[in-house]
């Protein structure tokens, strides 16, 4: 299985015939737009792909696996991705 990186996305855009510098700016701008929106608490919905959101995680008590000691994990915000039904269907069919 291959890992898709920012550089591989850039190369795919270049293969579409876009100038290298323009492709690099476009890919980085796309990523920056998603990150900036999520930081503001906005959800980013890409039709047919999915939605990027922030989930608020509550404070909870966990146990240190080495010592068995109880540890309080503070509340925090965590980024999350919810795939669209179409994406789930594509992956489920192996396409």
The 10s digit of each residue's pLDDT in 52-74 is 999 999 999 999 999 999 999 99
In the chain, CATH 4.10.520.10 sits at 43-95
Helix (H, G, I), strand (E, B) or coil at 68: coil
Q: What is the pLDDT of residues 6-38, one digit of tens each?
A: 999 999 999 999 998 999 999 999 999 999 999
Q: Specify whether the CB–CB gap between 14 and 20 falls below 8 A.
A: yes
- Superfamily covering domain 43-95: IHF-like DNA-binding proteins (4.10.520.10)
Beta bridge partners of 55: 78
């Amino acid at each position: 299985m291959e890992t898709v990186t920012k550089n591989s996305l850039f190369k795919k855009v270049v293969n579409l015939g876009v100038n290298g510098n323009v492709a690099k700016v476009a890919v980085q701008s796309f990523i920056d737009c998603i990150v900036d929106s999520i930081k503001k608490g906005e959800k980013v919905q890409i039709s047919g792909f999915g939605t990027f959101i922030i989930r608020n995680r509550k404070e909870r008590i966990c146990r240190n696996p080495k010592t068995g000691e109880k540890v309080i994990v503070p509340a925090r915000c965590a980024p999350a991705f919810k795939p669209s039904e179409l994406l789930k269907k594509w992956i489920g069919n192996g396409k």
